[in-house]
Amino acid sequence: MRLRTLVTMRWVAVAGQAAALGVVYAGLGYDLPILPALLLVAASAGVNLHASITRAGNTWLGDRAAAAYVAYDLVQLALLLGVTGGLANPFSLLILAPVTVSASVLSRASTVAISLLAVAAASVLAVWHVPLPWPGGLDLPAVYMFGIWSALVLSVLFMAGYVFAIAAEEQRMSDALAATQMALAREQRLSALGGLAAAAAHELGSPLGTIAVVARELHAELPADSPLRDDADLLLQESARCKDILAQLARKPESGENTGPYNCLPLSALAEAAASPFAQDAKDVTVTTERAPEDGSVEPTVPRQPEILHGVGTLVQNATRFAREHITVKCTWSATRVAILIQDDGPGFSADILPFLGEPYISSRDREQAGRDEGGHMGLGVFIARTLLARTGAGVAFRNRPAGGAEVAVTWQRGSLECAAPEYGDKKELAA
């Protein structure tokens, strides 16, 4: 809760209390214990002045600090009512105000504490208070005072529960709206990146073709025993790979593309297909399988979707950038869950970056670690991978392993991912 809001509310209360005391004491001529009452009002004004001087008005108070301010207002009001008639004072209904404020913005625990404090204050005021000097005297029956106390207590409980429930529902709706807006923004950014990728594929086609022609000519002119022969071979291979990547970017998926029997394969085979392009001589990429020990489920057969291949492959590629020697792609499954875990033996994720992984335009690892900022890496790869995997129903979690290194867990509900195993008519069809 913002400090300025509480300070403003208290200034309104101070003005109202001072005006009420002035009207009753000076206007109506009631012989109130005016000095103690004015001291209580002055105490609230002093608290406001102290808060305004020591803290900025736009300071956001935590739950405990805001609850302490609201509790003080309740206690100050109860003491003021205590010297001005107790529950017989018509303004005793204002005991509900701090409870309503607490239920609107504070936690359940704070609201319960404020409500119990309000009930305790009403109970004490019903027994102990300085009577108001009514003309001719005012002796209210005990049963009437009990009725006022009961009404206040029931109102406190009802207001606390009702307002808290309404505030919680509004917060849930606000959270849902924020989540929807975030998902829409992600889709819009991904769509923009898709258009950028198509434009890049078109623009890079011509220079890549020129590079491939020059690479082939160099390869043909170099003698077999030339020390540059291996470099020329590598240049040809990488240019061919770039050509394949651009072709995939430009290719439009056909309807039913992933519905054939040969587009379903075991989970470990899918992980192998996604990880194999990023295996390096200096770093070992290993694919392992691990079934949940509590059930006897067989390895799931999953669709060969481009979103999964590209998403898992990008995460493996990111792991190879920071791993020291080993990257493990672990496929796990149970009767209800399927997961691919990408683990590396690198320095792990930075604690400052970890909560923001998966968002665009941030580094997937702390840029200051080992000076790793090659190529102006902005985290778009991880963002795209997470968005593509989310389209398949996957959840992606980033964490550091207790033994060291990073781990990315891609998890699906088995029923939503698994496809039926292919059925073959006979050996001739299988051979064909």
CATH number of the domain encompassing residue 283? 3.30.565.10
The more confidently predicted of residues 197 and 120 is 120
Query: Residue 290: enclosing H or E segment and its boundaries?
Result: strand 284-291
Cα of 415 vs its chain's centroid, Å: 26
Task: For residues 29-51, give the mean pLDDT.
Answer: 89
| Shared domain check, 285 and 245 | no
Are 412 and 267 found together in one domain? Answer: yes
What pLDDT sits at residue 262?
56
Query: Residue 421, SS3?
Result: coil
| The last residue of a domain, from among 80, 111, 139 | 139
**Cα-to-chain-centroid distance, residue 28:** 58
User: Which pLDDT value is given to residue 80?
Assistant: 92
Domain that holds residue 204: 189-250
Neighbours of 287 (CB within 10 A): 21
pLDDT greater than 70 at residue 428: no
Same-domain status, 39 and 75:
yes
Contacts of 7 (CB under 8 A, 6+ apart): 48, 51, 52, 57
pLDDT band at 331 (very low <50, low <70, confident <90, very high): very high
What's the CA gap between 383 and 87, in Å, rounded?
A: 61
Domain presence at residue 177: no
The answer as to whether 179 is a domain residue is no
> Which is more confident, 193 or 23?
23
Do 92 and 38 belong together in one domain? yes
429: pLDDT strictly greater than 70? no
- 281 and 369 together in one domain: yes
Torsion (CA) 365, 366, 369, 372 in degrees, nearest 10? 60
What are 274's two structure tokens?
């996604």
Whether residues 283 and 223 share a domain: the answer is no
Structure tokens at 242: 């770039």
Give, as one character, the DSSP assignment of residue 60. B
Average pLDDT of the residues in 203-220: 82
Domain-embedded: residue 176 = no
How do 326-333 and 284-291 pair as beta strands?
parallel
The answer on 307 and 355 residing in a single domain is: yes
- Do 305 and 371 share a domain, yes or no? yes
Q: Classify residue 138 as exposed, middle or buried by CB count within 10 Å of its CB (0-12, 13-18, 19+).
A: exposed
Q: Looking at the domain assignment, is residue 172 inside a domain?
A: no
pTM of the model: 0.46
- pLDDT tens across 357-368, in order? 777 655 444 444
25 and 131 share a domain? Answer: yes
Establish if 359 belongs to a structural domain.
yes
* Burial (0-12, 13-18, 19+ Cβ within 10 Å), 314: buried
- Kindly tell me if the per-residue pLDDT of 343 is higher than 60: yes
At position 303, the amino acid (one-letter code) is: P
